[in-house]
């Protein structure tokens, strides 16, 4: 029987040398070249791929029902809080003014941030609305009548074409004049509790299309849009965005945070009728800013990964292999240091173990021997 174990041990050790690892036959230059090629392939693959993580922003929301989605461009990572609501299409409310402004610029209705619309003389409930306004002033005051004029001058066909190009939610303009949620016709529109709907996830996609490097829109118009969207300078970047709200506990804040070209796109949506007295666009903005300032500042901070050189991986595998040999020949578990448990056994180990009709033990992560096995 002992001769049998010695024979098996010799055979297994020979596999270590000739079969499980060819690192010893490779030069360090070859290994580094292969690693570089693998990294290049990974980068090409990641160029179109994005990862998704579920996060807990409940501390920022403070028991308010809502959701948040962030897209961290450097790491190509989506962060979801309350994912189901993030994927639900709802009225964009005043966040649609981003699209109205862009449509006006692209279709020649607006020239720049100083473009004015004429005030009708109606006494509106918001004092800032009771005057001729520029694009920048109207955007900052979220003036509905101003953008109603812009949308009407752009026209249904041009607006529909833009929404389809942006894949903006359901692209439904069927209630062009709105649902009558407000008493005055110029304070209604398809984007205010009406036919047009979009999800927070889709809001992110639209923003990325507009402000991405391959945007289909005029660079000067994008710069004008960014100028009116600019809000403030945070510790970790320049904040751009637009709020939106209704009287029934719904509110938005969408936009982007730009830190020297590294962008994080975000959308926060609140839907809480029970707390409607405190729900507003500013509340959504407050939550978003709190989240953005608590986020990691760089891609490396957001996703720390341990990269083990190839030669070291094979060394660890060989050590694991030796421990496996000892297990097979002695039928006793030998506990591995935790550093050796980070890499799986080589495939050939599994194959050899199967031929011997023995399961591969899962070594406990410990330094001391299990007292029950003494």
Distance separating alpha carbons of residues 311 and 328, to the nearest angstrom: 26
**Domain 51-302 homologous superfamily, CATH:** DD-peptidase/beta-lactamase superfamily (3.40.710.10)
The first and second tokens of residue 268, run together, are 């926060």
**What DSSP character marks residue 333?**
-
Low pLDDT (below 70) residues in the chain: 1-48, 296-374
- Which residues pair with residue 81 across a beta bridge? 68
Distance separating alpha carbons of residues 349 and 363, to the nearest angstrom: 14
The reported pLDDT for the residue numbered 49 is: 81
The first and second tokens of residue 22, run together, are 């060819």
The reported pLDDT for the residue numbered 23 is: 43
**What DSSP character marks residue 118?**
-
Q: What is the pLDDT of residues 91-105, one digit of tens each?
A: 999 999 999 999 999
SS3 320: helix
Residue 95, H or E segment: none
For the chain, domain boundaries: 2-43+312-373, 51-302
In angstroms and rounded to an integer, the radius of gyration of the C-alpha atoms of the chain is: 30
The reported pLDDT for the residue numbered 50 is: 87
SS3 220: helix
- Which residues pair with residue 234 across a beta bridge? 237
The reported pLDDT for the residue numbered 55 is: 97
């Amino acid at each position: 029987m002992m001769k049998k174990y010695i024979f098996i041990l010799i055979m297994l050790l020979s596999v270590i040398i000739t079969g499980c690892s060819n690192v010893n036959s490779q030069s360090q230059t070859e290994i580094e070249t292969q690693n570089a090629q693998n990294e290049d392939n990974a980068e090409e693959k990641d160029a179109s791929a994005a990862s998704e993580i579920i996060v807990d922003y409940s501390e920022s929301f403070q028991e308010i029902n809502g959701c948040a989605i962030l897209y961290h461009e450097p790491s190509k990572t989506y962060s979801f809080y309350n994912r189901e609501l993030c994927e639900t299409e709802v009225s964009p409310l005043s966040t649609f003014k981003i699209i109205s402004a862009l449509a006006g610029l692209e279709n020649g209705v607006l020239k720049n941030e100083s473009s004015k619309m004429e005030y009708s003389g109606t006494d509106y409930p918001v004092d800032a609305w009771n005057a001729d306004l520029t694009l920048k002033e109207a955007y900052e005051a979220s003036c509905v009548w101003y953008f109603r004029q812009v949308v009407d001058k752009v026209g249904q066909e041009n607006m529909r074409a833009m929404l389809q190009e942006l894949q903006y939610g359901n692209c439904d303009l069927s209630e062009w004049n709105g649902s009558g949620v407000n008493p005055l016709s110029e304070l209604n529109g398809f984007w205010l509790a009406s036919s047009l709907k979009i999800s927070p996830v889709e809001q992110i996609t639209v923003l990325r299309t507009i402000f991405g490097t391959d945007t289909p829109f005029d660079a000067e118009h994008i710069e004008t849009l960014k100028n009116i969207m600019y809000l403030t300078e945070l510790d970790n970047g320049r904040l751009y965005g637009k709020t939106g709200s209704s009287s029934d506990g719904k509110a938005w804040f969408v936009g982007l945070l730009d830190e020297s070209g590294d962008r994080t796109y975000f959308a926060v949506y609140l839907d809480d009728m029970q707390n409607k007295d405190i729900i507003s666009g500013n509340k959504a903005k407050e939550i978003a800013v709190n989240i953005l300032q608590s986020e990691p500042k760089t891609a490396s901070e957001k996703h720390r990964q341990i990269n083990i050189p190839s030669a070291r991986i094979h060394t660890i595998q060989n050590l694991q292999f030796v421990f496996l040999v000892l297990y097979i020949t002695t039928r006793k578990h030998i506990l591995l240091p935790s550093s050796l448990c980070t890499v799986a056994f080589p495939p050939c180990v599994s194959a050899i173990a199967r031929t011997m009709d023995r399961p591969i033990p899962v070594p406990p992560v410990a330094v001391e021997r299990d007292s029950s096995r003494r």
